[in-house]
Amino acid sequence: MRYSVLAWIVDEFPLLGSNYGNVEVARDTSKEIMSRIIGKHTPLLLLLSLLVVGCSRSGSQFVGKWVNITNASDTMEITQNGEQLLILSPQGKLGATYKDGALQIPSTMGTITLTYIKSSDTLVGPGFFGQSEYKRVDHFATPNGQATLHTPGGTVSTSNSKTYTAEELGTDIYPGAQSARGGMKMDLPGVKMVTGIFMTSDSKDKVVDFYKAKLGSGASVMDTQETTIVTLGRGEKESVMVTVTQNPSQDDGKTKIAIVHSKKS
């Protein structure tokens, strides 16, 4: 049942309600009103003050679900646990404290600091290759081995079974290669990226030769004993990168192919 503030005043103080606008009555009853409010409604006022304090807890801007904008499998959920904040991730659970406008997480490697960027509603923290940036997630679903992350700016979808087309990947799929786990499609402001993962029994060298021919003489090649990366830039806003890996002790000795096609708008 809705109950307005004005109705509450009239119920609590009928004299004031019946003489609304009468200045003299208001003056005469002001002390009585204040006394009754303080005496009768002290528990209510205390409860309201606690609610105000609770709503303005330090670090509340960090609370929510977050996903790394370049790695959809890197996710975390931050919850409030009293004065401490709790970080839940696929790797486990960590406690954190809010200090000097940032979230500080103790670890064996020292203190890790997460900073909230209000203008973009993102978190920034240390990563393996510079800084990692996390976007807030509105919805996270995992039906049948698939995951879709809906962020305020776009979506990130991962799949264990979906096979992307050659058009989506920017180059042909190696003949006979089978789709593998790790595929991802990202559609965010300023960038679209599709990643396809494939496995084949053919040798690494045979697969590399195939993609050298497909991407042409303009492609650059970086080669190590187990991995070769073939990259082709198509102007300043589009690129295709094919990573070919073969390790006898992994994936039953098969050759893994990772194709990443990115476009900037």
Q: Which residues pair with 103 in a beta bridge?
A: 98, 114
User: Has residue 246 got a pLDDT over 90?
Assistant: yes
User: Has residue 43 got a pLDDT over 50?
Assistant: no
pLDDT in the model for residue 170? 95
pLDDT in the model for residue 150? 56
Mean pLDDT within 103-108: 80
How high is the mean pLDDT of the chain? 75
Of all residues in the chain, the percent with pLDDT exceeding 90 is 29
Nearest to 125 by CA among 156, 155, 94: 94
Asked if residue 240 lies in contact with residue 232, where contact means CB atoms within 8 angstroms, the answer is yes
Across 28-37, 39-48, 194-203, least confident range: 39-48
User: Left (φ > 0), alpha (ψ -120 to 50) or beta: where does 101 sit?
Assistant: left
Give the tens place of pLDDT for each residue, 137-164.
765 545 455 565 555 566 666 565 567 8
Name the pLDDT band for 38 (thresholds 50, 70, 90).
Answer: very low
User: Has residue 109 got a pLDDT over 50?
Assistant: yes
Give the E-state strand segments of the chain in sequence order: 64-68, 71-81, 84-89, 92-99, 102-107, 110-117, 122-127, 130-137, 139-141, 146-151, 154-159, 178-179, 183-188, 191-200, 220-223, 227-234, 238-246, 255-264
**In this structure, what token pair is assigned to residue 255?**
């050759």
pLDDT in the model for residue 258? 93
User: Has residue 5 got a pLDDT over 50?
Assistant: no
User: Which residue segments constitute the domains of the chain, with CATH numbers given?
Assistant: 5-55 (no CATH), 60-137 (2.40.128.50), 155-264 (3.30.2030)
Name the pLDDT band for 259 (thresholds 50, 70, 90).
Answer: very high
pLDDT in the model for residue 185? 83
| Highest mean pLDDT: which range of 26-30, 73-77, 103-107, 224-228 | 224-228
pLDDT in the model for residue 11? 46
